[in-house]
Amino acid sequence: MYYIIDTEKSFEQAATDLESSVTRNGFGVLHVHDLGVTLRSKGIEFKNQCKVFEVCNPQQAAKVMATDMRLNMALPCRISVFTEHGKTKIGLIKPEQMLSALSSDPELAIIAKEVENKVILMVDEAK
């Protein structure tokens, strides 16, 4: 259900390269949540780094919602750049498996597979 890769890049370089890859592949970055900064600002000890990128392809999102409006709750896709045990990682929850748990519509399965192929490509390019 997860797609996670290790990278030799620094956390910041991997985050920068992911953002470039997202744009290059026809998606947009709607927001970046810096969970490490947020947690530390609340007084919580958190030693790792973690940025969650909300990414979206408007055409694909519109198709999903036209088929089943409830699936807006599964949008947008999220790709994370994070550190764990001193290593930088980039990962996501695979859209195809996630949507198949929410809907058995065959058209949605096709859309989810197309999106999954693209977001995995983005992660691999950022590696």
**CATH number of the domain encompassing residue 28:** 3.30.310.70
Pairwise CA distance, residues 35 & 48, whole Å? 9
Rounded (10°) angle between helices 95-102 and 106-126 = 150
What tens digit of pLDDT does each residue of 69-107 get?
999 999 999 999 999 999 999 999 999 999 999 999 999
What tens digit of pLDDT does each residue of 6-48 get?
999 999 999 999 999 999 999 999 999 999 999 999 999 999 9
Written as one letter, the residue type at 66 is A
User: Which residues lie closer than 8 Å to 61 by C-beta, 6 or more apart?
Assistant: 75, 76
Total domains in the chain come to 1
Range of the domain at 94: 2-126
Tokens (6 digits) for 3? 């797609």
Read off the pTM: 0.94
Helix (H) or strand (E) segment spanning residue 121: helix 106-126
- The predicted pLDDT at position 87 comes to 98
